[in-house]
Structure 1
């Protein structure tokens, strides 16, 4: 759980670093699992349009809990869900999850952006947690944020990848959030964030999980994922009468 100082920091800045949410051995095991998935998956480049064709690449996989039992167990781990409850309330629902591996020397950057354009919600309850499975210093292209931007509401977005203004929010002036293996960064989906290129000689490996209050109403049905709606803590107060899955309308 977060202490009082961490809660205030999150409220003011829209993100908080939680050191050692996982221990080093857990992070190492998850890292090995993610790289095994990447190897079996083959080529999968998630480089954004605005930085594509620059000689960089990034490996990704969505809905990782359908490929890894370790990730399935992690999603409802109280170490993770208790922090989420501190930020969004007692009921925590999965929206989606994905892994990213930035390869050595050429790991793609992520332009500065808000997550809002991809999956907007009425009450803005959506948060993300980045679990670092290896060290992420600045030279590896660590997360960078513009503190306090979660208070500005949705900002104008540009291009197919919905990045924010590169003039107003250049990545060079963003605040880096370096992390160690096992650390987690929780941030609001309106917080302007991105990351630089991995210039190091080691891969940077992360698991990103998006969470929401189940009572929050999505304003778009984009970004549907398998397992979306699974309760990780608390209950879904919006759930109606029971129906078998095959009775549900597609």
Structure 2
């Protein structure tokens, strides 16, 4: 985990990411900043009328006798200038570049995820790879925690080092997941408002049910090395896909 982002910290982040498939950066945003983004996120969801329940079939669960729920909003930066600015914030892009191992960072897509209180949906163990496979697997994710995420709120859980095994076969029925990875074998990574979790799209991860009395709010940014071409066109095109967040696109490609 990191507290600051000097050269030594970025080197440590890159090493931890390479060895474990993730790195949790503590306090990348201040708690006040995270709180402001949280308020913006919830105001957007209240204002828009298409924040449908996004629970996977494979992630469907019952909590306290009530089906679990999840709110989401894709491409939130097209609804909020604040999130557009955060996409190119050097505090974020410097870590993204470090874990990719190069200066160039390109956007794939973003997604706002809110697990409602008491029955916020879980996600079963899976890799992100099946949804948008790329040739060299230089794809990462950053989960911005906009409020505290202890284990009872359904924090992200990781299988450390699982990225080293490469792509795995997923059960496609009811949604992509890994039935051979018991949920109990994943390691919870509790986080605080302002922390950002970076992980590879090959890292096996999951999250639990939010059984607390408060929502869990996070913003997921999927980013890539622009020199890593998609293996197949397997993911719906996102509005901002291909936007350069840091560096340049040496291929001249503007998107998939």
**TM-score normalised per structure 2:** 0.90
CA contact (8 A) 2:133 2:230 kept: yes
Which of 64, 69, 75 is residue 76 of structure 2 equivalent to?
64
Report the equivalent of 2:127. 114
Instruction: Give the deviation of 1:53 after TM superposition.
Output: 6.4
CA contact (8 A) 1:110 1:196 kept: yes
User: C-alpha distance in 1, partners of 2:236/2:90?
Assistant: 26
For structure 1, the residue ranges without an aligned partner over 5 or more in a row are none
Instruction: Give the deviation of 1:90 after TM superposition.
Output: 0.6
Q: Does 1:27 align with 2:39?
A: no
CA contact (8 A) 2:68 2:120 kept: yes
User: C-alpha distance in 1, partners of 2:10/2:86?
Assistant: 22
Which of 213, 236, 243 is residue 225 of structure 2 equivalent to?
213
Report the equivalent of 1:83. 95
CA contact (8 A) 1:101 1:203 kept: yes
Which of 191, 204, 221 is residue 203 of structure 2 equivalent to?
191
User: C-alpha distance in 2, partners of 1:5/1:232?
Assistant: 22
Report the equivalent of 2:54. 46
Report the equivalent of 1:149. 162
User: C-alpha distance in 1, partners of 2:236/2:33?
Assistant: 29
1:15-57 Cα offsets, whole Å, 9 max, x none, are 0000000011110010001101111223511101123363110
RMSD, matched Cα: 1.7
CA contact (8 A) 1:132 1:179 kept: yes
CA contact (8 A) 1:118 1:223 kept: no
User: C-alpha distance in 1, partners of 2:59/2:12?
Assistant: 37
User: C-alpha distance in 2, partners of 1:5/1:50?
Assistant: 35
Report the equivalent of 1:161. 175
CA contact (8 A) 1:92 1:233 kept: yes
1:140-177 Cα offsets, whole Å, 9 max, x none, are 00000100010001101012421112xx3111221000
SS in 1 for 2:52: coil
Report the equivalent of 1:97. 110
CA contact (8 A) 1:96 1:227 kept: yes
SS in 2 for 1:117: helix
CA contact (8 A) 2:60 2:122 kept: no
Which of 25, 43, 54 is residue 36 of structure 1 equivalent to?
43
User: C-alpha distance in 2, partners of 1:223/1:70?
Assistant: 24
CA contact (8 A) 1:94 1:228 kept: yes
Report the equivalent of 1:224. 237
For these two proteins, the number of residue pairs brought into alignment is 241
